Every structure is written in C-alpha cells, then in structure tokens.
Structure 1
Amino acid sequence: MGTAQRRSASEDGTATQAQEQAQYRPLWVEEPAKRYRMPDPVRRSAVRALIIVAVTLIQAMVAFFCTMAESWLAFPMVISSVASTVLATWGVVDVLVTRQVWNQRYGVVSEPSSTARSLRRERRAARRRGGAGQLSHS
C-alpha cells in the first residue's frame, strides 16, 4: 500500500469519525437548577391547593353547562361550586401561610460574621461589665 493510499484511508477514517461525532449529539444538556426545590410541607400544601382548585374549576364548568341545559342538577352544582370556591381560597392561603412559616423557622441563615450575632455579643459583654455587682436586672 502506497503512502498516498494510506493517507487517503486514514483521512477517510478521520472523516468517518468526525461524521459520527457530528451525528451524535445528546438530546439534552443538564444544567444546575437555578432555584432550589420547595420544602416538603410547602410542596404538600401547594399540591393540595392545586387539586382543590382544579376540582373547583371542573365543578364550575359542570354547573355552567347544567344551567345552560336547564338541568335539575344546576342548583346543587352551583351551591357546591360556591362551597368549593371557599375551600379553594383556603387552600391557596394555606400555601402562603405554610411558606411563610417555613421561611420564618428555617429560612434564616446564621453565620458567625452576622451583624446580629456581633451585636448580641457586644450587649452580653456590656451586661457582664456593667452588672458585676448587681443581684437583679432591674
């Protein structure tokens, strides 16, 4: 086999590999999440609220169609839709309250360089210096 034939064979192999690499592309590229997932209690209340709101919307549609068809079922469906709307409002407020409670309990990151911590340390030191001979804090 001559040098020219070897060169063309190796170029063909390189070209074939390049074509295979060009054809193989992953379907997706994983990227790190920009937002963390919701805490479990908040996620539970959000799913609960979503289900309640979905059922309420379905009930409202059924009530509307029953009213248009002048069915006997229209009045009970309208009453249950009103009650379900109250329940859906409670579900959405529950998500907001659960999220706020979780943030207040677990959302604060305490670091040694925190301003609040250094202020507390200074106050504690001032109390020890100023109140060495006192029996009470009055």
Structure 2
Amino acid sequence: MGTAERREAPKDGGTAESTAPSVPEESDRGIPVAGPDAPACERPARPKQSYPREAREQQSANRPLWAEEPARRRRLPDPVRTAAVRAVLVVAVTLIMAMVAFLCTLAGSWLAFPMVIGSVTGTVVATWGVLDVWVTRQVWNQRHGVVSMPSSTARAMRRERRRARRQARSAERAQERIRRRGGAGQLSHS
C-alpha cells in the first residue's frame, strides 16, 4: 500500500473499502506518478541514487589502511626470537627433506637413500633447534628477570620484603606510641 492510500472501517460489518485513487496522481513528495502500464518515456525519472557507492568510496578514501592495536603479548627478547627463527627454518627444511625422501622412495629413485639419511640428520638438528629455543628463553629469563609464577623466587622475595616493611611499620608505630605517652613506658630517663 502506498502513502496515498487509506482504509476506512467497515460501516455495515462488511469488508473495508479502499479510498485510494485507481491511478495515483501524486506521491507524497509532489512528483507525478504514472501508472504501471504507462510507457517508460512517460514515467518520471527517479533521482539518481548513487550515494551509497560514492559514500563508500569517500569513506574508504578517508579510512586508514589499518588500525593499530595494542600487542596482546610482549615481544620476544632478541636472542630468543633469533633461536626461534632458526628452529623454524631447520624444522621446515627437515619436513621438506622428509617429503622428498618419501616421494623418491615411491618413485624408486636413487636419491631416496641420501634423502632419508638427510631427513634423519635434519630431525636431530631440528630437535636441537627446538631445545635451543627453550634453553635460550630460560637463560634470558634467569638473567633479565624472573617470571612471576607460583614457584618463582620473585614471589618469595616480595613476601620477605613485605614482611620486613610490616615489621618496620609496627616498630615505628610502637615508638610513636611511646613518644605520645611522654616517655611513660621508658625505664631510664637520660
């Protein structure tokens, strides 16, 4: 139903009548509307609505290429990152060698045996590379700060410092109480 159409309530219990004109003459904007059977040349031209595309183009022109987000994790220390990159490269080469060895074995190539030997050697080196990452990370953590975990020595040290501060504060409060009393708790007056 258009905006020019209106329904009236039934008067005698019958069905509602539509009071809209059979061919709408004007829409709510004052633009003459031709009937659906009218030829296309007699229909009024609609205003060009290319605004969504233009708006998108303008919006994409103003929008930055990427949005900076804060890092979820801290960056790995340089020695650990270097060891990790080395380990990833060694593991990748080893996997490629293993795949080539498998394919050469299927093809019955003479290259299969040297590739199998290379794959076994690569597996040993890849294992060393992964262990190197773990050891490098542990050494870096030990030298440059303790990871705060329940088994960490950092928690025990903080606990001891807190205990020492608490004792110092309680001793200071006790001395302040003695001073406020005017030295009543002192045994000697010197």
TM-score, normalised to structure 2's length? 0.47
CA-CA distance at 1:120 after TM superposition:
7.5
CA-CA distance at 1:44 after TM superposition:
0.7
Q: Which has the higher contact order (CA 8 A, sep 6+)?
A: 1
SS in 1 for 2:68: coil
Distance in 2 between residues matched to 1:60 and 1:40, nearest whole Å: 30
Once the two structures are superposed, what CA deviation does each residue of 1:38-63 show, in whole Å capped at 9, x if it has no partner? 00110010011011001101100110
Once the two structures are superposed, what CA deviation does each residue of 1:74-94 show, in whole Å capped at 9, x if it has no partner? 111101110110110110011
Q: 1:83 aligns with which of 121, 130, 139?
A: 121
CA spacing shift, 1:92–1:35, aligned 2, 3 Å: same
Q: Percent identity?
A: 68
CA RMSD of aligned residues (A): 2.6
2:24 alignment counterpart:
none
Distance in 1 between residues matched to 2:139 and 2:102, nearest whole Å: 38
TM-score, normalised to structure 1's length? 0.64
Distance in 1 between residues matched to 2:58 and 2:159, nearest whole Å: 55
1:43 alignment counterpart:
81
Residue type matched to 2:114 in 1?
A: P
Distance in 2 between residues matched to 1:120 and 1:67, nearest whole Å: 70
CA-CA distance at 1:121 after TM superposition:
8.4
Q: 1:115 aligns with which of 159, 162, 183?
A: 159
CA spacing shift, 1:25–1:65, aligned 2, 3 Å: same
Distance in 2 between residues matched to 1:120 and 1:79, nearest whole Å: 62
Which structure shows the higher helix fraction? 1
2:100 alignment counterpart:
62
Residue type matched to 2:134 in 1?
A: L
Structure 1, unpaired ranges of 5+:
1-18, 123-138
CA-CA distance at 1:118 after TM superposition:
4.9
Structure 2, unpaired ranges of 5+:
1-54, 148-153, 167-190
Distance in 2 between residues matched to 1:56 and 1:79, nearest whole Å: 11
Residue type matched to 1:52 in 2?
A: V
SS in 2 for 1:80: helix
CA spacing shift, 1:75–1:86, aligned 2, 3 Å: same
Q: 1:71 aligns with which of 76, 86, 109?
A: 109
Q: 1:97 aligns with which of 118, 129, 135?
A: 135
Distance in 2 between residues matched to 1:60 and 1:121, nearest whole Å: 61
